[in-house]
Amino acid sequence: MAGHDAGSQHQFTGIAKHFNSYTIIGRRNCVLATYASLAAIFLFFKLKPKKKPAVTEK
Amino acid sequence: MTLSLFNQFLSPSLMWTPLAAIALALPWALFPRQTARWVNNRLLSLQSWFLGQFTQQIFLPINNPGHKWALLLASLMLFLITLNTTGLLPYTFTPTTQLSMNMGFAIPLWLATVILGLWTQPTQALGHLLPEGTPTPLIPVLIIIETISLFIRPIALGVRLTANLTAGHLLIQLISSATSVLLSILPAVATFTITLLFLLTLLEVAVAMIQAYVFVLLLSLYLQENV
């Protein structure tokens, strides 16, 4: 719990080098990516233009 | 009838003047201040010994930068334990039954530990939101769960103290009301309720001290994670 994980026993390649659940940097990046994804989804639905109903002649 | 059970938790006022300030100032008036004498009297020595033992035990697992919180947490512990135990006296008001007061302690102190962690060691503070060794498909779910549990902490801290104290006082009032009614009607049953009331009072004294300790202990754990 206390102390930092050096992660020296894990050899990651590719995207796993930056996003993994073993090294502290990897865990931090996963957390930031999750928050960024959630913010992006929220902003997408917030800024999505709403469809106006078609105006018909009476 | 239902309303009268909760009247004991109303914040006292006299001529529209809130008396809660006097209730909150009581612990300050009860404890003697440190003197410049080389050897103090027994009461002051006992108080110093207790505070020293408590501070040493709480701060043993915390790193040196966190030791700045020693005065705050030790005084908070003494404050809460005094309010809780004096509230068990008859006809006294217990400020720690008020959720507003407990949240007033819990939220700023919890937020301070979170901000401290994000400011001094942001990588570790953010990294702790994902348990080590989590399988890849579970990573987003676990991060959301850990974030929710992080924000639940101050609510749990405040509500735990409020609920324990309120429930205890309510039980004492219910059983003592039952005892006073039964004394004239069924004295034999009243002896049972008197015994129950005595045991409950002992339990409430223990709960009063334990809940104050748990409040401060949890805050020290949150500090330990972030410092």
Taking the alpha carbons at both ends of chain B, their separation in whole angstroms is 50
Return the pLDDT at B148.
Answer: 97
ipTM: 0.77
Q: What is the dihedral of CA A21, A22, A23, A29, to 10 degrees?
A: 0
Strand B17-18, strand B13-14: pairing: antiparallel
Report pLDDT digits (tens) over B143-169.
999 999 999 999 999 999 999 999 999
CA distance A48 to chain B (A): 24
Return the pLDDT at B14.
Answer: 84
Return the pLDDT at A1.
Answer: 46
Is the distance from CB of B125 to CB of B43 less than 8 angstroms?
A: no
Return the pLDDT at B7.
Answer: 81
Tokens of B129: 């939101």
Name the percent of chain A in helix, strand, coil, to the closest 5: 50, 0, 50
Give dist(CA B182, CA B194) in Å, integer: 10
Least confident of B5-14, B168-177, B188-197: B5-14
Return the pLDDT at B142.
Answer: 96
* Contact list, A31 vs chain B (CB under 8 Å): 126-127, 129-130, 143
CA distance B38 to chain A (A): 40
Q: Where are the domains of chain A?
A: 14-47
Angle at B102 between CA B96 and CA B103, to 5 degrees: 160
Return the pLDDT at A4.
Answer: 52
* Contact list, B130 vs chain A (CB under 8 Å): 21, 27, 30-31
Report pLDDT digits (tens) over B2-23.
557 888 888 888 888 888 888 8
Percent of chain B with pLDDT over 70: 99
B99: pLDDT strictly greater than 80? yes
* Contact list, A10 vs chain B (CB under 8 Å): none
CA of B55: how far to CAs of B3, B74, B168, in Å? 42, 6, 28
Percent of chain B with pLDDT over 90: 80
Give dist(CA B214, CA B105) in Å, integer: 14
Q: Minimal CA–CA distance to B64: which of B218, B224, B215, B216?
A: B224
Using CA coordinates, name the residue in chain B closest to A7.
B132
- Could you tell me which residues are beta bridge partners of residue B14? B17
- Could you tell me which residues are beta bridge partners of residue B207? none
Mean pLDDT of chain B, nearest integer: 93
Of A1, A28, A34, the CB nearest to B127: A28
Report pLDDT digits (tens) over B118-131.
999 999 999 999 99
Q: Minimal CA–CA distance to B215: which of B122, B78, B27, B56?
A: B78
Report pLDDT digits (tens) over A26-45.
999 999 999 999 999 999 99
Residues of A with CB under 8 A from a CB of B: 1-2, 4-5, 21-22, 24-25, 27-28, 30-32, 34-35, 37-38
